[in-house]
Every structure is written in structure tokens, then in C-alpha cells.
Amino acid sequence: MSNLKVVILAAGQGTRMKSKVPKVLHKVLDKTMVDYVIDASQEAGAEDICVVVGHQSKMVKSMIGPRVKFALQKEQLGTGHAVMQAGDFINEGNILVLCGDTPLITAETIKKLNELHNEENNDATVVSMLVNDPTGYGRIVRADNEFSKIVEQKDATDEQASIREVNTGVYIFKGEALKAAFEKLTNNNSQGEYYLTDTLEIIKKNGGKVDVMVADDSDEFIGVNSKLQLSQATETMKKRINEYHMLNGVTIMDPTSTYIGKDVKIEPDTIIYPGCMIEGKTEIGTDCLIGPNCRIQSSVIHNCVTIQSSFLIQAEVDNYTTVGPFAYLRPNSKIGEHVRIGDFVEIKNSTIDDGTKVSHLTYVGDSDVGKCVNFGCGTVTVNYDGKNKFRCKIGDNVFIGCNTNLVAPVEIGDNAYTAAGSTITKDVPSNSLAIARSRQDNKEGWRNKSGK
């Protein structure tokens, strides 16, 4: 979609959210509302995007990052005033104006609007929707079924207030028509604000063509102004995403209790049990089983993997591996094929090669583990001395006895063993048995002699 620029309005405080966080930064599932709007614009092929910020502008800019331009609205003097702050951004071509608190808008709708605008050669096109209760919305006033003007709630007559066709707050303009309209825009209304809606009437009076596109799905344009509406938007988004995956061959046992982020990719024939949260840039292959109450963030799960009641953050799990229940894979953990990560096991910043078993009650941090290693229960890689972190290296076919402490930096050679209860502080050569514990000494009759 060439020659389309987008202005996103994100300057408001959102007092009805009753939060110190700016309204557009509240999240629907795992993404901020304004991120959804930016994503939809980019997916629709927008050439450039400018976000108009105001309230807590530093926080908003920091959260959004460098992928867009910014304009600052120091005072909130209305939607028209907000768009005017992006004046240097507005030139030839189409200028789409979106609200940062409408996370449900889709790229498909943006494309449809731009195509209609171009085909009809409109100077401005506004998106409307039909609602049963129009309270609070600007009304679309028509004359002979053609667009006449938009009247805000507080400026509406009784007759106008009864109109059910309302403004969604989404517009597309020819850049030159919008700039010309700004020259005549005033704040002569009950609010003393510069309404962007007034530019449509100005464009008509200047001889321009203004049209209306009635929305197919009004849910896309519901603005979020409270925590209640945020929960409603989240429910709609959750349903939309889950239905997409199910239609593409994923089995979701209970869609009402399954939360999947928009950027998640899942291959067919994977089964997801109730209570799961799958977020970020997670990718899940085919024939996986994601058991109940898992939380997976920005991780890569290959094919035929089973994960039970576990937490994964920025981890990678290869084919035919099982994880959990109650395992914790922390960032930069790479787990190989046919590996067993069992209950109450924590892996952090480590590589676990194929065929290894870490079955229970074990911590592996900052380690490189070879193939077909067996970790006994209660093993700890002691990677931190209070100031610095060090790595352990464990070769292939190693047997780590129960309750072994591996004090890094230490290397265990191929085919080596450590005896249960050992604290290993020196390298262990290949094919060796390392024993690092005190000899047992039984004091017979000690209790009677001690008087205890």
C-alpha cells in the first residue's frame, strides 16, 4: 500500500482508567493497545507512521521504541489540534488518522478503507458504525443519504442525538486537503477544542469530496476508556486469536481459559490444554502437547514436544523432548532432542544436548551439557561466587550423582562419574569417578555419653 502515512493519536491521559500508566500503554493480552494499532498499520503496508504523544510522553516513546516517528502535543486541545502537531509529517498522499486506544482494528480494514478512498477519489473518508446506544459518540449527519457533517454529543440537538450511525474516530484524507482545512479550523464549540471532525465539513465547503465507509465489524472500533472496557477488548482479542489457530488445525481444549498472544505461531496438530498463557514471539511446532497451566514467553518449541505445567522464557526446546511438570526454563536455555527436563528443575543460560536427563529437583545454570548425561536428584551447578558468574562444562555420557554440587568453573570429562553427595571443585578427567565428601564416621553410643 504505497503512499499511505498514518497518524496515531496517543496523547491523552485516560483518567477513566484510574491508573498512573498512560491509557495507550495498557495491555491487551501481552501487547500495549498502541502497539496493536501500529502493527495493523504496518501490516497494511503503511509507508510511514507518526504517533502523537502528550501525557507522560517519555514513557510512551520509550515503550513504543524507534519504529515510528513522534510528534508532541504539549496541551490537549482536541483531536484536530493533536493531528496539527504532526503538520511536518502531513504532505502529499493519503493520511490515515487512527486512535491509539482501538487495539482491535485490523490491517484488512485499513486496506479496505484506503482502497475505497482511492477508488472514489475522495478528499476525506470517515469510518462509521451503527450502534444501539450512540451515547458519547459523534453522530454522522447525512443529507439525502450523503455525508453532511459530524456533530459531537455535547453539541447535538435532540434530533441529532437520536442518530445511530456514529463516528469511529478513523479517517483518511488527501494530505493537501487536510492541510488546507487546518487553515480554517477553529475551536468555536462548547468544549473550546479543535475538532478533527470539523475538517470534514471544511473540506466539503472547499469543494472537496467527503464520503463514509460503514464498518462491517463495529468491534474493531471500540475505544478503550476504562479497565472494564480493557477486559472486554481482551476477551474479543483472545477469541479472535484462538479461533484463528483452531481454524488452522490447532486443538485448544478450552478456548475460554487459553490466552495466546497475537505474534504467536503454532503449527497444526498441536494440542493446548486449559489454563495456558502463550506470549511474545513464541513459535510452537507440530504434534506438540502443551499441558495445563503452562506459561510460555518468546520461546521456540520444535516438533513433538510435551510441556506440562511449566514456565518457559526465551528458551528453545528441540524435537521429542519433555518438560515438566513444574519446570522453569529461563532465558537463553537451549534444550536438545529426546531430553527429559523433569519436575522442579530450573535451567538458565545453558545448553543441554540430545538424550540428556535432568529428571528432578536440579538447578543447571550457565552450563554446557553434553549428550546422554544423567543428573541425579538435587544436583546444583554453583555458578555464582557473590561477584562473578562462571560456567560448567559437562561432557557426553556423564553420570552426576544425587546431591552433587558442581562449583564453577569446572569441567567434567566424557564418561565420568561423580559420587552422590560430592562437592566438585576441580576438573574431573574422562572415564573417572570423582568423590568429594567426608568419610563416614559412626560414633557408637554417642547419644548416651553426651547426655542428650
Which residues have a catalytic role annotated?
Answer: 360
Burial of 224 (0-12, 13-18, 19+ CB in 10 A): buried
Amino acid at site 53: V
* Range 101-113 burial, b when 16+ CB lie within 10 A, else e: bbbbbbbebbbbb
The span from the CA of 32 to the CA of 63, in Å, is: 9
Cross-strand partners of 382: 407
CB atoms within 10 A of CB 132: 5
- Is-contact 38 8, C-beta < 8 A? yes
Name the maximum alpha-carbon separation found in the chain: 110
The span from the CA of 315 to the CA of 332, in Å, is: 6
CB atoms within 10 A of CB 83: 27
Question: Which single residue is written with the C-alpha cell 493519503?
Answer: 94
- Is-contact 128 146, C-beta < 8 A? no
